[in-house]
Amino acid sequence: MHTKERLFVYSALLACAILALRPSLSPSAAVASPPPAQSAAAEPPPPPSPPSPQSARIATCDIYEIVEKIVIGERFEGPRKVEEERLGARLKPLEEELTAMEEALKAADPADAAAQEQALVFQQRGKEYSLLRGKSQQDYTDYVGAQYVRAFDDARAAAAAIAKRLGYTHVIASRTSEKQIKATDPERLIEAFLGRPVTVAPDGTDITDEVKAELKLR
């Protein structure tokens, strides 16, 4: 073997030995691994779970009956009569004036010029009376309406107090099933239906009597 050939063979053997001694590198190992990501900021705690439906206790109450009893009771009936008398007193002077003018015109000669002029005044005063009477009626309606609102507020407050005392979380205003529907007019029937939103309720969950006792209603 020539010297050049021996040198070539030795060089090849040396290269193979070096390759055999070097640690094997996989393609994935050759790529530098990224530094570990920094831990993300701590997430806020989840919101508290809503109360379980089993924790809700529902009662019913005939608020409508209670409101009616409050409005017709002595506490509201007395002031209502006073307001009615006050409004009637506002109309009385004009009523008396019109009555006197009417009697005078009946006894007067229709052809008399003074009587004719008085008839025109009578008509004008009659218009003024109609306007005043209409306003008085509206004032009375507003007064009674305000009484109903106060009665409703009283009934709600009493129902809330009873519910808290007995451990109820909700109170639904509903006519009791014992109240029969006697209306025949379609609009009144719809009102009656809407006043009975509760179809089924467990026995002993109606607090109407307790609320009436709280308000000292018969």
Query: What pLDDT digit, counting tens, does each position of 188-208 carry?
Result: 899 889 999 998 899 999 999
Q: Is the pLDDT of residue 21 over 60?
A: no
- Give the pLDDT confidence of 174-192 residue by residue, as tens digits: 998 777 888 899 998 998 8
- The single residue listed with the structure tokens 């009791």 is 176
Helices (H) and strands (E) in the chain, counts: 7, 2
Q: Give the pLDDT of residue 44.
A: 74
Q: Is the pLDDT of residue 142 over 60?
A: yes
Domain ranges of the chain: 55-214
Give the span between the Cα atoms of 143 and 77, in whole angstroms.
12
Give the predicted TM-score (pTM) of the model. Answer: 0.69
Q: Is the pLDDT of residue 12 over 60?
A: no
Q: Which two structure tokens, joined as six digits, stand for 130?
A: 């109609």
Q: Is the pLDDT of residue 74 over 60?
A: yes
Identify the weakest region by mean pLDDT among 26-30, 81-85, 153-157: 26-30
Identify the weakest region by mean pLDDT among 34-43, 121-130, 156-165, 176-185: 34-43
Residue 60 · residue 174 · CB < 8 Å: yes
